[in-house]
Amino acid sequence: MKMSMVSLGCDKNTVDSEMMLGLMNEKGFEYTDVDEEAEVMIINTCGFIQSAKEESINAILEAAKLKEEGALKALIVTGCLAQRYKDEIIKEIPEVDALLGTSSFDKIVETVEDVLGGEVKNEFLDLDRLPSISNKRKNSTGGYYAYLKIAEGCNKNCTYCIIPSLRGNYRSYPLDDLINQAKDLTAQGIKELILVAQETTLYGVDLYGEKRLPKLLKELAKIEGIEWIRILYCYPEEITDELIEVIANEDKVCKYLDIPIQHASDKILRKMARRTSYNDLVNIIDKLRKNIPGITLRTTIISGFPGETEEDLETVIDFIKNMKFERLGVFTYSEEEGTVAAGFDNQIEEEEKEARRDRIMRVQQEISEQNLEKMVGKKFKVLIEGRLPEENVYIGRTYMDVPGVDGYVFVNTNRDFMSGDFCDVIITGSSEYDLIGDVL
């Protein structure tokens, strides 16, 4: 029986989708990317912010049409939107045959079989349940990288964020399970592991009583075939000296860290319930750069948080100018029902949020251009991911680049490479957010 999968939202959702694909594949379901051919369709939704909710709803409605026009017999909706709006989906979209909550994705096979057998059974297990990851995943990235989700949920309770009520409290996957999963991914040809969670820095605290991210990194680095290990969602206040030492000294761990700070004004950071101050952030960033030469730092900023003044905005801009992040993204504040921040006074109009976002990004664009210019003449190890047709130009990434988020390197060469190969490249120029180089 043919099945299709629509995976929306973040990379954590991607992992859940790959888990479900693996389970379904083991049961003999055949994957198709032609939706009209599918007899079973799974839509793994995002419900984090308004735009993501709209995208998820549209995907469900499009799939619902296939129950009349195509071969579709079972439409299953999973993920954050299903968890957050289960009652509304059941009432408004009767074409949906079953819903799975965020902690229930490993029940996908039983759910599909129930639906095909004529039984409607929605599955919403305890949010603090840890889904099984014992199955072999079916990697879907199409490249030589895979995301390794090391934990579920979050305990931070930032005032703007709905995630704890959708994903539960923080809980880590056992280290041995993650090592086995990484070995399975390596057997599929994966060369880069990207560690993700709502927060990676707290890995292991709930299971082992201490932060075990450094130990996990060391164990992953022992796996033959893994060349790069990258860490995302690393909360700045939880970065330890031990973690810094491992990043600095373990060759396979990329000198790259994603540290979402969200703001720099002490007033706004307090309103967000963040656990850092302006000075804390400066000290952490200085420490990282001092102890990890060549580190690339990525961060995110929220513009237009309730009560944000011109002074707060200028604080952020000055901070960015001083810190000179290699990578930075800005998101407009999204007022989400059920969050503390939704009840704050002085909500800011969407047009103004966007204007503030654009101001910040203009500053960052200049910094990015300067950073790219500094790369010229330097040598980097590049992972080849593809080739431009009819040209002697390959597309690749350095340790400084997260796939689909950061830039690429366009490599000029007359030599033949396969996707997944590594090569040494000298940077000769730049274009917007990308680098240009020649093979050494």
Q: Is residue 136 part of a domain?
A: no
Q: Is residue 130 part of a domain?
A: no
pLDDT for residue 35: 87
Q: What angle do helix axes 108-116 and 11-26 make, rounded to 10 degrees?
A: 60
Q: Is residue 129 part of a domain?
A: no
CATH code (residue 383): 2.40.50.140
Number of domains in the chain: 3
Q: Is residue 153 part of a domain?
A: yes
pLDDT for residue 143: 81
One domain, residues 187 and 294: yes
Residue 362 has pLDDT above 80, yes or no: yes
Q: Is residue 68 part of a domain?
A: yes
Residue 137 has pLDDT above 90, yes or no: no
**146-173 residue pLDDT tens:** 999 999 999 999 999 999 999 999 999 9
> In whole angstroms, what separates CA 249 from the centre of its chain?
25
One domain, residues 343 and 421: no
One domain, residues 174 and 55: no
Ligand-binding site membership of 154 (annotated): yes
One domain, residues 100 and 155: no
Residue 48 has pLDDT above 80, yes or no: no
Last residue of a domain, one of 328, 355, 374: 374
pLDDT for residue 181: 94
Ligand-binding site membership of 254 (annotated): no
Ligand-binding site membership of 80 (annotated): yes
One domain, residues 400 and 367: no
One domain, residues 158 and 113: no
Q: Is residue 133 part of a domain?
A: no
Residue 398: pLDDT band by 50, 70, 90 thresholds?
very high
Last residue of a domain, one of 374, 391, 421: 374
One domain, residues 312 and 188: yes
Ligand-binding site membership of 423 (annotated): no
Q: Is the pTM of this model over 0.85?
A: yes
Q: Which domain holds residue 337?
A: 145-374
Q: Determine what percent of the chain is predicted with pLDDT higher than 90.
A: 83
Give me the DSSP letters along 77-126. EEEHHHHHSHHHHHHH-TT--EEB-TT-GGGHHHHHHHHHTT----B---
CATH code (residue 82): 3.40.50.12160
One domain, residues 275 and 192: yes
One domain, residues 25 and 38: yes
Q: Is residue 123 part of a domain?
A: no
One domain, residues 245 and 151: yes
One domain, residues 336 and 403: no
**98-124 residue pLDDT tens:** 999 999 999 999 999 999 999 888 999
Going by DSSP bridges, is the β-strand pair 2-7/74-79 parallel, antiparallel, or unpaired? unpaired
Helices (H), 117-240: 163-167, 175-187, 205-208, 213-221
Residue 49 has pLDDT above 80, yes or no: no
Tokens of 229: 């290990």
One domain, residues 19 and 73: yes
CATH code (residue 300): 3.80.30.20
pLDDT for residue 392: 83
> Around Cβ 440, how many Cβ atoms within 10 Å?
10
Q: Is residue 132 part of a domain?
A: no
